[in-house]
Structures are given as C-alpha cells and as structure tokens.
Amino acid sequence: QVQLVESGGGSVQAGGSLRLSCLVSGTTYNSYCMGWFRQPLGKERQGVATIDGDGNPSYVESVKGRFTISKDNAKNILYLQMNSLKPEDTAMYYCAAQVSGGSRYGLLSVPRYEYWGQGTQVTVSS
C-alpha cells in the first residue's frame, strides 16, 4: 500500500521560504510521476509542481521561478522548495503519486494521481 506523509508546512511572512517534504513508502516510486498540489480554503485543489520518472519538472505558471520540485530517490522523499512566498500561496499542500502507467490527464491534473497524503498547511502573511 502506498503511503505519502507530508511535513514542513508552517506560517511565514511574505517573501519567506519553506521546504515541504513528502516521505513515500509502500512502492518504488522512482519511475512514477509525483506531484505537489494545493487547496486554498473554499477552493478547488490545483496542481503546483510535478516531476516525472526521468526527473523532468513541470510548474503552474504562478509559481515558476519561485518553487522548485525535486526528489531524493535513495531516501524516497519528494521535496518542494518554496521561495519568495506570497499571501496567495496560502493553502493546504498535498503530495500525490501516480502509480499506474499512462493517463489521459495532464501532469498537473488532480485525476491523474491515485495516492494522496494528508496535507500540510502553509500560511503566508503580508
């Protein structure tokens, strides 16, 4: 059974940084697509950043140049480095994994991913 556990959320002022971590267990995830998603209170969940099995990242336009997704295959950890944080980045952040091969959904699409963590809250104050 695949399990994803996020950590690293917190409260920061605008312009600050946070690094989120997602510990993956129950699968060898090296060849799978992994992603970070966020859901502001009262809004839909949206894709933030993904990384495929070859290590190629994709980002939503609003975080390009500020966020960096990476993974440590030896430790089975997915990271999201968030710099220059803005109040609009405030949300619950979720780690997700696509375990099955192939999908008709885009890399930043929620339905593509079968497994989800419990989320970690990020709050950015102005």
Sequence-distant contacts of 114-117: CB under 8 A, at least 24 apart: 114/2, 115/2, 115/3, 115/4, 116/4, 117/4, 117/5, 117/6, 117/22
Q: What is the pLDDT of residue 30?
A: 59
Could you read off the pLDDT tens digit of each residue along the chain, which spans 126 residues?
889 999 999 999 999 999 999 999 887 665 579 999 999 999 999 999 999 888 899 999 999 999 999 999 889 999 999 999 999 999 999 999 998 877 888 999 999 999 999 999 999 999
| Alpha-carbon separation of residue 11 from 39, 85, 99 (angstroms) | 16, 11, 32
Q: Say whether 63 sits in a helix, a strand or coil.
A: helix
pLDDT score at 29: 60
Q: What per-residue confidence (pLDDT) applies to 116?
A: 96
- pLDDT, residue 39, reads 98
